[in-house]
Amino acid sequence: MLNKYARAFFTRVLTPFAAFLLRRGVSPDAVTLIGTAGVMAGALVFFPRGEFFWGTIVITLFVFSDLVDGNMARQAGISSRWGAFLDSTLDRVADGAIFGGFALWYAGRGDNNALCAVAIFCLASGQVVSYTKARGEAIGLPVAVNGLVERAERLVISLVAAGLAGLHTFGVPGIQVLLPIALWVVAVGSLITLIQRVVTVRRESAEADAAAARTAGEAGA
């Protein structure tokens, strides 16, 4: 839902920066790798220690690499299947690190097994939501549904809540409750999105099979 509007806005904002990196000889793949490493460091170094504000700041600085690398590839005219594969694969790694960081906090000093389980569910369901679309497209289906909570929504909801929850360490009372709420919202939204995509793939596959059967019947006649 956010992808349509947010990507268009940030693409315009980040285009000059992407052009600057190209002039300095930086490759899109290098930006992808550095961005993922930065996100992982922010999530796995800060979040398990409960330093959500600073972890979110670090992650935010690097998460925009997902837009910069694609912008660079388009400007340089070097878009490739490999670049798309690398970008998509490392997106899953970065997402896993973020929700893994939350899970580690609640499994440790956060001392809440229920929220640890919710964070793990967010991690797993996010991967499966992405897989359903990729797998559906791989078997020739359009998977024409966006879904309630896609990657952009998962990141925005989780990171905004984590950053605000981190203000608790600066003396803001009660604000840490935002992160558990956000994790539950992402978990439920991801489940709904997964169901939406599975239902869509089932419908599209039935329609494709019926069309193929009609074509075969007409050819046989």
What are residue 207's phi and psi, to 5 degrees? Answer: -65, -40
Q: Are 117 and 180 in contact (CB under 8 A)?
A: no
In this structure, which amino acid lies at residue 56?
A: T
User: Cα–Cα distance between 40 and 59 in angstroms, integer?
Assistant: 8
As a whole number of angstroms, the distance between CA 40 and CA 214 comes to: 50
Q: How many CA atoms lie within 13 A of 92 on its CB side?
A: 14
Identify the CA nearest to 29 among candidates 77, 75, 117, 90. 90
Q: Which residues are catalytic?
A: 91
CA proximity to 69, closest of 3, 134, 22, 12: 22
